[in-house]
Amino acid sequence: MDHDDFKQEPIRGLPEIPPEGEVIVWQGHPDWWALAREALKIHWIAGYFVVLAIWRMLAEIDRLPLASAVETGVPLLVLGAIACGVLALVAFIQARATVYTITNRRVAMRIGAALTVTLNIPYRWIGSADLDLRRSGTGTIALQLLGETRLSYLVCWPHVRPWHMARTQPALRCIPDAERVARILGDMAQTRLTENAEEDERAAAVPAE
């Protein structure tokens, strides 16, 4: 029997039906391999176990035949492969459970595999958006929040800008075609902020009764 953990969502990635006038302009999720590489540092873990295995073989090569010395490093390589396999699985599950949504009014992030939360970030909360673009075309868009808005780094991880813990910056992490998504986000934010400014001007122009 199929089971969908998110079947209660009226619209994929959003906890409720958007209000009248709000339109989804983009949805996506992290590239799982890029997430494993950049957030979980799978290459560093693999390299660490390879170095350990080589060190072990070199330490034994003076007192054992070459074949036997090589064999002493095999268990470390097996452990490294298991560790990398676990990290790859975690990245795959995280990517599958994540949905990033850009609308004409906000950025929504449904994140978390075991404990799922949805962050709703109106454009008026966003001071800037910084793009970290990789050669592959994947990239991370980090959102710097204004004012006293605070988010938990641990709750949001890995969907955050790394090492910015004092002022957590939620991030659309390791997304494909990140440059195009950044342009969409910039256009939507600018349009919405312009609309808000015009609404404020109209409200200020109405004489008090």
Helix (H) or strand (E) holding 192: helix 178-205
Tokens of 173: 């992490």
Tokens of 51: 């170095």
Distance CA 175, CA 165 (A): 22
- pLDDT tens by residue, the chain, 209 residues: 333 444 567 888 888 888 898 999 999 999 999 999 999 999 999 999 999 999 988 888 888 887 888 888 899 999 999 999 999 999 999 999 999 999 999 999 999 887 889 999 999 999 999 999 999 999 999 999 988 778 889 989 999 999 898 889 999 999 999 999 999 999 999 988 787 665 555 555 555 45
Distance CA 55, CA 52 (A): 5
**Phi/psi at 208 (5° precision):** -70, 140
Distance CA 126, CA 181 (A): 16
Amino acid at 113: A
Q: Could you state, in order of their start, the residue ranges of all structural domains in the chain?
A: 36-93, 112-201
**How many Å is the Cα radius of gyration of the chain?**
23
Tokens of 9: 């969502």
